[in-house]
Amino acid sequence: MKTTEPFSSEGKLHLLTVPEGEERRRELIFELFSCLCPPEEARRQLSLLLSYFGSFRGIFFAPEEELRKAGASSEAARLLKLTVDLSRAYLEDRADSLRRVFDTASACEVMRPQFLGRKAEAMAVLLLNARGQVLYHGIVVEGSVTAVPIYIRRLLELCINYGAYSCFLAHNHPSDSVFPSRNDITATRQIEMALRSIDARLQDHIIFGGNDFYSFRKSGILAVEREKNSQMIEEELKDARELEQALQKQREDQNGL
């Protein structure tokens, strides 16, 4: 940590008590704005944004309308959002070079870029073959991810079309809290059950929030929900066998009359 003024008398960008690395990140925004307007105006706009959002991260992930409201020109706000979009595209392209996914950590490397800068919830899927090679990854639903039946249909369709052996699911919490909700847990159980119907395996369900993530697999929740589904299937099979036996006995009794 170090404490300095936002700008020195020579016009160089400095900062007020910021973590290591934050100063350079803010300087990059200043340099970006300087491509559109004189340095004095770039300093003024950046100062307004820092006062409004408080950090590089707050500025970088702010909606375009909020940037304008905080004091950025329309051109500066648009350029910054295009920079975020370009960064996301680069990270997604870089993730495509990862040919195999073996665990949650490598799945996060592939899937996290899809949530860069998103302010609304979205659900993404990563499909793998039996050797862990990536067959497909992308967003399956945007907005509320609580409409489970909608994206289960899309997920099953993708798994069948790509012949997927297993998959990872991920969604984001715009609040930055990665703790799963009751709906998240219920959805995970329903999705795990649906994938069983087509002989595909849910490897993990990941929640991204800020710089953190939550793994249903590592937390043990996925194993618990998988066991619940197994017990439910066993009970349904037992009920079906008992019904079959009862119907058979009924037929035998009728034939014996």
Distance between CA atoms of residues 139 and 145, nearest Å: 11
Q: Do residues 126 and 137 lie in contact, with contact meaning Cβ atoms separated by under 8 Å?
A: yes
Q: Do residues 100 and 133 lie in contact, with contact meaning Cβ atoms separated by under 8 Å?
A: yes
pLDDT at 7: 47
Residues 44 and 152 in one domain: no
Residues 120 and 205 in one domain: yes
Out of 44, 61, 91, a domain closes at 91
Question: Where in the sequence is the domain holding 102, given as residue range(s)?
Answer: 98-237
pLDDT per residue as tens digits for the range 101-142: 889 999 999 999 989 888 888 999 999 999 898 889 899 888
> Does pTM top 0.75 for this prediction?
no
Cα of 198 vs its chain's centroid, Å: 24
The enclosing domain of 132 has a CATH number of: 3.40.140.10
- Phi/psi for 166 (5° steps) reads -155, 170
Burial status of residue 52 (CB atoms within 10 A of its CB: 0-12, 13-18, 19 or more)? middle
pLDDT at 48: 94
Q: In what order do the strands lie in the sheet with 134-142?
A: 134-142, 122-128, 166-172, 201-209, 212-215
pLDDT per residue as tens digits for the range 162-176: 999 999 999 999 888
pLDDT per residue as tens digits for the range 152-161: 888 999 999 9
